[in-house]
Amino acid sequence: MNIVIFSGAGLSTESGIPTFRDSGGLWEQHRIEDVASPEGWKRNPQLVLDFYAKRFEKQAECLPNPAHFAIAELAKHHSVINITQNIDTLLERAGCEEVWHLHGRIDQQKCEYHHSLAFEYDGDLECTYRSQITAPIKLGDECPKCGGQLRPDIVWFGEPVDMREEFLMKTIKQAEIFVGVGTSALVYPAAGLLPMFRMTPEKYFIDPHPNYELLNGFTILEGPAGERLPKLVNRLLLQ
């Protein structure tokens, strides 16, 4: 079966990584616009680098929870594509291979002139450099391709998401089961993705506070991912 799992911050809360909502719109005591926007980066890059270095360390200490492991188990038996808004790598650490991070990855760095940002820099400075982080990024760390400053490989507010249109269209067409988990799905592109799967025959949504209005047509499993997802996976494995 072709299964799509679409996840948000709620998938990782039971691993100890809080959602934005739970922290009242602040991210570890910082205003989102200070640490997750191109303007914040221009104002105070050191603050941004320190912030993500801490997030990197924190997530390395966290462990995948039963929901991540259930998805990895499902992927052993079926074709599972993960589309996640999470920047942590808990799905990969649970054993998932096919993970599309809409908002980037905490364990990667890219050039500040990366093409996804290039619209800000009059089009002359475009770079595609991206690599695994091996040591905390420092001011002065240069992109080996063009000399730009390295920055976290995170999609910040106001930056475009790499939508991989062709892959997405193929995934939508082939999807037989869709499982949404741990996302309020109010923010784009999440908000736009749900309706795209409206023709998928079986659709589930797991969240302790589901938005019933938004989830018309879904089988809603109200509760935490760590409890609900393993049960759903057991059921799907018997189908």
**Catalytic center residues:** 103
Q: How far is the CB of 154 from ligand NAD (least distance, A)?
A: 8
Min CB(36)–ligand NAD separation in Å? 8
Judged by CB, which is closer to ligand NAD: 148, or 210? 210
Q: Taking CB under 6 A as the criterion, which residues in 92-131 touch ligand NAD?
A: 103
Q: Identify residue 55 by its one-letter amino acid code.
A: R
- Binds ligand NAD by CB under 6 A, chosen from 14, 73, 92, 112: 14
Q: Which of 3, 4, 5, 17 binds ligand NAD (CB under 6 A)?
A: 17
Token representation of residue 190: 């999440």
Residue 195: Cβ within 10 Å count:
11
Any idea what the Cα angle at residue 177 is, between residues 173 and 182, rounded to 5°?
A: 115
201-217: b (≥16 Cβ within 10 Å) or e: eebbbbbeebeeeebee
The alpha-helical segments, DSSP class H, found in 1-79 are 10-13, 32-35, 38-43, 45-61, 66-77
By CB under 6 A, tell whether 224 contacts ligand NAD. yes
**Applying CB under 6 A, which of residues 147, 192, 208, 217 lies at the interface with ligand NAD?**
208
Q: CB of 102: closest distance to ligand NAD in angstroms?
A: 7
Phi, psi of 21 (to 5 degrees): -60, -40
* Assigned token pair, 149: 């400053």
Residues in contact with ligand NAD, shown as a per-residue x/- string from 27 to 46 under the rule CB under 6 A: --------------------
Decide: is 207 part of the binding site for ligand NAD (CB under 6 A): yes
**Per-residue binding letters, 164-183, with ligand NAD (x by CB under 6 A):** -----------------xxx
What is d(CA 82, CA 62) in angstroms, rounded to the nearest whole number? 20
Size of the site for ligand NAD (CB under 6 A): 27
The window from 11-19, 39-47, 112-120, 121-129 that contacts ligand NAD (CB under 6 A) reads 11-19
Q: Which CB sits closer to ligand NAD, 84 or 171?
A: 84
Phi, psi of 20, deg, nearest 5:
-60, -40
Q: How many CB atoms lie within 10 A of CB 111?
A: 25
3, 4, 6, 13: which one contacts ligand NAD (CB under 6 A)?
A: 13
Given the rule CB under 6 A, which of 75-83, 122-130, 135-143, 201-209 is the region that contacts ligand NAD?
Answer: 201-209
- How far is CA 2 from each of CA 89, 113, 152, 163, 172, rounded to the nearest angstrom? 22, 36, 32, 20, 10
